[in-house]
Amino acid sequence: MDRRALMISLMRLLRFLAVWLFWPGVALIAWGELTPNPPALTQHIWDKAEHFTAYFGLAVMATLVVGLRRALAWAILGVIALGGALEILQGLLGRDAQLGDFIANTIGALAGLAMAALFIRVTGGSRLVGGGRRH
């Protein structure tokens, strides 16, 4: 298998995984941010790193699925808005809502966008969903 065929196969696999793991990822993140007693295994991890990593992953998956087109801006804004909404809900549910968590979410989402966009450019990939002309 030549390098180009390998990259195409890798892109297809990653997009397939992104399509099927995005919404379960959203549900897991929402549960983790809203549960009154977060799992004990996260006690020894800096919470800002957890926030960064979670939203990095969501943004990577969104970018791989939507591709490099105008709709991607809305997808990433949606990921960032999710982080903000969950922080507000934390405050309403008696947990500690922190601006630092929202900042970590946002930086993670933007870093995930940048990493996935770079990957798409390097592999020559295109979007997975949507049709019609490119914007």
Cβ-count burial 5-42 (b if 16+ within 10 Å, e if not): eebeeebeebbeebeeebeebbeebeeebeeeeeeeee
Residue-number span of the structural domain to which 18 is assigned: 3-123
Is 47 a domain residue? yes
pLDDT tens digits, one per residue of 25-82:
999 999 988 988 776 666 667 789 999 999 999 999 999 999 899 999 999 999 999 9
Query: How far does Cα 128 stand from its chain's mean position?
Result: 16
CA angle, 33 then 70 then 61, to 5°: 40
Q: Whole-model pTM above 0.85?
A: no
Is 134 a domain residue? no
Is 30 a domain residue? yes
> What would the mean pLDDT of 14-19 be, rounded to a whole number?
88
Is 60 a domain residue? yes
Q: What is the pLDDT of residue 42?
A: 62
Count of structural domains within the chain: 1
